[in-house]
């Protein structure tokens, strides 16, 4: 994540479940409505599937699953944030995109100062319009292990899957 020395830090604010998250504006390429996606077997648990964007397959990351929040069925009102990590472009599923904010340097604090034991992909915490916003470091969205597992899943042959991430029936049992 870029560290800005100016008086304000530009972010895109997302709502995921009941929480607000911020992404570095520089990493955000585009925001689009939820589109059809295909289930991707053997991908990390927080990858819902793959979306096609201008002919490119992009992994669809469930921010709910990534942050350990209650899982919800994707809704047509959800949005996809197309963003770039150092290793690949990703599509991030958010419940709501709240907009663009310029966060004054005085309004945010390092997440490590709040929890020295580790904060995962949360780099800092900011107060924006009387809301607590967790600033997500897009560079830590996928660990090296996640990226390798995703690459393997993308290479593996798989059958087309239903739309909106419903897992195919396994044939037998109480599906």
The model's pLDDT over 105-157, given as tens digits with 9 standing for 90+, comes to: 777 776 666 655 555 677 777 878 888 888 878 877 778 888 888 888 888 77
Residues 6+ apart with CB under 8 A from 107: 126, 127, 128
* Residue 61 forms part of a structural domain: yes
Q: How many residues does the chain have?
A: 175
Residue 114 in domain: yes
pLDDT value, residue 86: 75
Number of domains in the chain: 1
pLDDT at residue 92 in the model: 94
Residue 174: inside a domain, yes or no? no
CA distance linking residue 39 with residue 18, whole number of Å? 26
Beta-strand pair 108-110/122-128: antiparallel
Residue 62 within any structural domain of the chain: yes
Q: What is the CATH number of the domain that holds 155?
A: 2.40.50.180
- Alpha carbon separation from 68 to 45, 83, 96, 119 (Å, rounded): 11, 20, 18, 13
Burial of residue 57 (CB within 10 Å: 0-12, 13-18, 19+) is: middle
pTM recorded for the entire structure: 0.78
What is the residue range of 113's domain? 8-165
Please indicate, yes or no, if residue 112 is contained in any of the structural domains.
Answer: yes
Place of tokens 């604090």: 109
CB 63 within 8 A of CB 93: yes
Residue 151, classed as helix, strand or coil, is helix
Average of per-residue pLDDT across 92-100: 94
Q: Is residue 170 part of a domain?
A: no
Q: Is 109 contained in some domain?
A: yes
Query: For residue 43, is pLDDT > 70?
Result: yes
Q: Is 143 contained in some domain?
A: yes
């Amino acid at each position: 994540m870029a560290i800005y020395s100016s008086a304000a830090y530009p972010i895109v604010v997302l709502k995921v479940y009941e929480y607000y998250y911020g992404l570095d504006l520089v990493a955000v390429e585009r925001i689009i409505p939820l589109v059809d996606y295909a289930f991707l077997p053997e991908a990390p648990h927080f990858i819902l599937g793959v979306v096609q964007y201008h002919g490119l397959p992009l992994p669809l990351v469930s921010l709910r699953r990534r942050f350990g929040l209650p899982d919800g069925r994707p809704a047509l009102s959800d949005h996809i944030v197309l963003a770039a990590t150092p290793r690949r472009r990703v599509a991030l599923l958010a419940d709501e995109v709240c907009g663009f904010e310029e966060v004054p340097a005085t309004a945010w604090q390092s997440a490590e100062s709040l929890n020295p034991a580790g904060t995962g992909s949360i780099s800092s915490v900011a107060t924006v319009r009387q809301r607590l916003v967790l600033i997500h470091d897009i560079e830590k969205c996928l660990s090296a292990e996640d990226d390798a597992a995703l690459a393997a899943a993308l290479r593996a042959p798989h059958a087309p899957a239903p739309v909106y991430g419903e897992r195919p029936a396994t044939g037998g049992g109480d599906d």
